[in-house]
Amino acid sequence: MASRDLTSRSKAQLIEQLEAEYESMRRQRQAARLAASLMAEWHINPEGIDLVCWLADPNTPSNAEALRSWVVLQMADPDFVQRAEYEFEIAILRERLRERLMQFERSFA
């Protein structure tokens, strides 16, 4: 009886873990699509590094990776999640990216 109970708990834990991994992969793919849309819209060179210092860790290898990482962080923000219930995600990201870059521009003016 104890081994059956353990097995059913193990199965439940495995299912929960798989669902969490699937959700994480889904968010990563979604972030990559949204980042690609922003790069195309803003004519950002994906291989360049000019946005790296503004959006991500300085060791990030490219604008594409920096923007994708930034999008992942934005999507994890509770305010973003709440706004995404009634606004397009790309519109929220567009606004936030514009604000972020303008903030840096003002700091150097």
With respect to residue 10, please indicate whether it lies within any of the assigned structural domains.
no
Distance of CA 93 to the CA centre of its chain: 10
**Token pair recorded at residue 11:** 């199965």
Q: CA torsion angle for 79, 83, 89, 95 (degrees, to 10)?
A: -70
What domain range includes position 68? Answer: 29-107
With respect to residue 3, please indicate whether it lies within any of the assigned structural domains.
no
Cβ–Cβ < 8 Å for 58, 52: yes
Q: What is the pLDDT of residues 63-89, one digit of tens each?
A: 999 999 999 999 999 999 999 999 999
Structural domain count, the chain:
1
With respect to residue 50, please indicate whether it lies within any of the assigned structural domains.
yes
Q: What is the pLDDT of residues 24-63, one digit of tens each?
A: 899 899 999 999 999 999 999 999 999 888 898 889 999 9
With respect to residue 90, please indicate whether it lies within any of the assigned structural domains.
yes
Alpha-carbon span 45 to 41, nearest angstrom: 11
